[in-house]
Chain A
Amino acid sequence: MIEVKEISKEFKVSVKEPGLKGSIKSLFKREYIIKHALKKVNLHVKEGEILGLIGSNGAGKTTLVKILSGIIHASSGSAKVLGIDPWSRDNNLRSQMALIMGQKAQVWWDLPALDSFLLLQEIYQIPQSVYKKNIAFLADSLGVKDQLKTQVRKLSLGERMKVELMAALLHNPKVVYLDEPTIGLDLTAQKAIRHFLLAYQKEFKPAMILTSHYMDDIEKLCKRIVIMREGSVVYNGSLSEVRSQYAPEKIINVNLKQDEWSFEDVSTFAKKLGTITSFEEGVLRIKVNRDEVAKSCQLALENLPVQDLNIESADIGDLVEKIMLKGKQ
């Protein structure tokens, strides 16, 4: 559905020295630098897949989304969305595509959302029966039935984002770009939007690209991720692979029963299971190889006065950060 081959994008950005002198100088002579926003990026997204696009600020995520939605042109490389070049601004493609930018309003602020939806119904030529059905489904799933007649600018940030999602998905797009859809939202709103996106994906199976700085969004919604750093793809694979590849160990947390153990005995035994990362106030943390987690747990239960035990996977955010920093060092 989405195919990206060797896409690069350079921007010419003006720079100015700070202070009044710099401002006066820039009136007569302006200096520019070339910023390489994307460097030979390759990726593909299948029907029904949600691809997570991760990277720090300025990594090129939004630039890629803008290129794929036809907003900006690539400097080189090629892309096909539903078999069509996105820069051709083909109406057939545009009527099957949706873009949601968390930091940019798409609906009209001065009017209630329903007014914007009526215009979108005509723009996308949505038949009345489909329009009614979709409004009902989307409003119900997002819980904004009562907000649709209120002027958009008077809605809360969370409500506005939900309304933006409704506006973007009203025409059942086959390709959806979500650029930080949960930015600035509280935890409840973030959760509601994640639930909705999963339900939507199940129902309509669009190809989705999601960019987000919230790892919860990525973990809950994406099976596959692309990690970008300074315009290049540094990882392209499944989320589970990130864990097995970059976190070959897990942490076993053992809560010991009170006063039934000695520090030396427990430490000596724990060292046989793996590496002790901490041992304080009766809580022992042991780092063990993923393949030996079950065996180590069994041994711990048999040989230590265990009150409670749990297994901790490495934090996905830390792993992503590790990957992002890897090539930098």
Chain B
Amino acid sequence: MVIDTQGLSFNFGSQPVVSSLSLQVPEGSIYGFLGPNGAGKTTTIKLLLNLLKTDRGSIHIFGKELNSNRIAILSQIGSLIEQPAIYSHLTGKENLMNRALLLQVAETRVDEILDLVQLKNAANKKAGKYSLGMKQRLGIGLALLPDPKLLILDEPTNGLDPNGIIEIRELLIRLVSRHQKTVFVSSHLLGEIERMATHVGIIDRGELLFQGSIADLQSISQPQIHIEVENTVDAANFLVKHGFTVNEINEDHITVPFASKTQMAEINALLIRNNYPVFSIHKTQKDLEKLFLDITQKA
């Protein structure tokens, strides 16, 4: 595990912000850390970066305990927390040069990064004059500068336009697949995480509600049979009479829990035989958006 926390807890005063969080982030994964605003995502990230002192529990990164190996661990992490931290009186390039100086990274790397985050044309413009998206890209560039093994990004696509979001997503996928990096990325948007993450952790009110691979998440969402029929209400009543459960009745379709393909064929045959014309019948997954809401609202 690249990140391994056990029973991690943190309070602001008497208010618990993070409670007994146990995160497992495997190497080479894109770990989507998902939760609504105010769920404790940024606090967790600050704990992982040793900016906040852990009240209870332990944090191991790259297998080493964080407090006693702070500098060794931080030297392999690139991070972006909340809005990017940028000196607005310096140009974009000077911001990167300053960081390169601190991290002893060659100047050629600065040019590479400018190219990578597409700020080459704005390199000599004051960073204070950058748009929100450009600042965000510069922030990501700063995180990538030392070529870290682990990237910790807090809402990296905030303020980016759709093109920018796609670029960042592709960049992160490329970093993991081609350069064997591990990415820990927080978001409050499931759709964004769904498109790139290999692993997901869902947090709400400081508690981890779900953790596993993206496939695990999909599998806990029960598949449904989506049936388009002429008279949905009568068809639903008919199916219930024959011992089936109907989850949902809409104007143009009904849904029934999926058990097997044979059962799906049976339902189809039954409806047709009894003069309920079936226009379409297929298996669907409950969408993750709904699942996410279910999980976060249950708590």
Co-assembled chains A and B = no
Q: Which residues of B contact A (CB under 8 A)?
A: none
